[in-house]
Amino acid sequence: MTARVLVVDDILSNVKLLEAKLTAEYFEVVTAFNGVEALAKVEECDPDIILLDVMMPGMDGFEVARRIKGNPKTAHVPVVMVTALDQPSDRVAGLDAGADDFLTKPVDDAALFARVRSLVRLKMMTDELRMRETTGQSMGLIDPAQTLIDNAPAGRILIIEDRPESVQWFMSALTPANEVAAADSFEEALVRVRGGDFDLIVVSLGLRGFDGLRLCSQLRSLPEGRNVPILVLVSDGDKRKLNQALEMGVNDYLTRPVDKNELIARVRTQLRKKNYQDRLRHNVQLSLEMAITDQLTGLHNRRYMARHLDNLILSAQKSGKPLAFLIMDIDHFKSVNDTHGHDIGDEVLREFANRISANIRGIDLACRYGGEEFVVVMPDTDIDFACTIAERLRHSVETTPFEISRAPNTLNVTISIGIASAQSEGDNAESLLHRADQALYRAKREGRNRVIKAAA
């Protein structure tokens, strides 16, 4: 794994030492010698991770971290404080400023590479979500996710520990701000995670009854646990277990004996990141849905139908099952807009979409084709049964007036429908659509408010 690392320290020898170590491991290294220069390099070089000295003249590392994490463009970049300060209060101050981890001078090589690789790997996952979100924003589909700044995040936390006194201490420290549950066996932990919808999992690596590292590996393989941050508890000095945990994708760690304020600060940091990533995933999913959905009616849009109709036809041909295609149009819709306004026209379109949804099956594909035209693709359906469904829909529209928000409060609406069916191995979306469109044209020409089958 390679990445761009920004090393910030006011002492040249410290910078050169870290630069040499990282370059030997094929990382790209960028350097800065004070806080102001560091902030400029963050904007200019787009680093994947920042190794930041704390004690610098002018702007110290805490203030640099606060500014990085306060900027929506850079808040997701992991910051590791490299410092001679090793007290819990110093780590809490760094976490409150936005730091993701700490390395104590002189820096141990194994710890350095484990932290860098772990945090870069986690950042790459976030980068992928941010890139997809940016695509959605560029299409005008979604608003950007909020930054990582959330002063009081709360969540559902699972403690996996088989020492009752330790469980009680953690519960006391984390409640009532969070909802906390506990598990003391391998099997119970997996069951809890599968059904628990947790925001953070805390795993003791000093479990007496089973291997905590193996549990972490299992949790990462579960769909329900894949995106849940894991914070491990490790005995002070047990570098082997800690490095193994970081390599397998654990998000953060605490060393025993655990300082309560550091626990709260690290939990807060992980919940803040989880909330941010959840928002990114929600935005990505929303952009995907909006890209294939008509925003006015909630039905699929023309783009979605165009991409899927050929596949549906091909599937019908392979299976030998029929496929019917309906295209329908609201009669005299222009007069609705001209007489009552486009807002009332939109209400009519939404209600018509609701009537379509109420009269078709779950396997049928309903789309707004454009304007006042709608289509329904009906797999495993012959043309006679499709005509029955179409007639039922036509009758529903004709006999039940549409409610609108202004006088006269209801409108009488009728529709015309053209129907075609897939006929031969050479059929495709274009030919099917053409035949259905010709049938719709006949329905309009012959007086509207009727269902017409395409000529065989």
Please state the domain extents for the chain.
1-107, 142-290, 302-453
pTM above 0.75, yes or no: no
pLDDT for the residue 295: 87
Check residue 313 and give its pLDDT.
87
Whole-number pLDDT of residue 52: 96
Given the residues 128, 165, 372, 430, select the one marked as catalytic: 372
| pLDDT at 144 (0 to 100) | 57
More confident residue, 263 or 131: 263
What 3 state SS string does the chain have?
CCCEEEEECCCHHHHHHHHHHHHHCCCEEEEECCHHHHHHHHHHHCCCEEEEECCCCCCCHHHHHHHHHHCCCCCCCCEEEEECCCCHHHHHHHHHHCCCEEEECCCCHHHHHHHHHHHHHHHHHHHHHHHHHHHHHHCCCCCCCCCCCCCCCCCEEEEECCCHHHHHHHHHHHCCCCEEEEECCHHHHHHHHHHHCCCEEEEECCCCCCCHHHHHHHHHHCCCCCCCCEEEEEECCCHHHHHHHHHCCCCEEEEECCCHHHHHHHHHHHHHHHHHHHHHHHHHHHHHHHHCECCCCCCECHHHHHHHHHHHHHHHHHHCCCEEEEEEEECCHHHHHHHHCHHHHHHHHHHHHHHHHHHCCCCCEEEEEECCEEEEEEECCCHHHHHHHHHHHHHHHHHCCEECCCCCCEECCCEEEEEEECCCCCCCHHHHHHHHHHHHHHHHHCCCCCEEECCC
Mean pLDDT, residues 186-195 taken together: 94
Class of domain 142-290: alpha beta
Average pLDDT score, the chain: 89
- For range 78-101, the mean pLDDT: 88
State residue 329's pLDDT score: 95
pLDDT, tens only, 150-181: 667 889 999 999 999 999 999 999 999 999 99
Query: Where does the pLDDT of residue 330 fall: very low under 50, low under 70, confident under 90, or very high at 90 and above?
Result: very high
The band of 148, judged by pLDDT with boundaries at 50, 70 and 90, is: low
Give the pLDDT score at 308. Answer: 82
Can you identify the CATH homologous superfamily of domain 1-107? Response regulator (3.40.50.2300)
Per-residue pLDDT of 416-454, as tens digits, reads 999 999 876 778 888 899 999 999 999 999 999 999 999
% pLDDT > 90, the chain: 62
Whether 372 is a known active-site residue: answer yes
pLDDT at res. 238: 86
User: Taking 80 as the threshold, does the pLDDT of residue 291 lie above it?
Assistant: no
Report the pLDDT averaged over residues 343-367. 93
- Lowest mean pLDDT, pick from 59-68, 237-246, 286-295: 286-295
Identify which has the larger pLDDT, 111 or 162. Answer: 162
* Res. 133: pLDDT tops 70: no
Instruction: Write the pLDDT tens digit of every residue in 12-60.
Output: 999 999 999 999 999 999 999 999 999 999 999 999 999 999 999 999 9
Q: Which of 3.40.50.300, 3.30.70.270, 3.20.20.70, 3.30.9.100 is the CATH number of 302-453? A: 3.30.70.270
Of all residues in the chain, what percent carry a pLDDT higher than 70?
A: 95
- Of the candidate ranges 85-94, 345-354, 446-455, the one whose mean pLDDT is the lowest: 85-94
State residue 445's pLDDT score: 95
pLDDT tens digits, one per residue of 374-393:
999 999 899 999 999 999 99
pLDDT at 131 over 80: no
The answer to whether the 1-107 and 142-290 domains have the same CATH topology is: yes
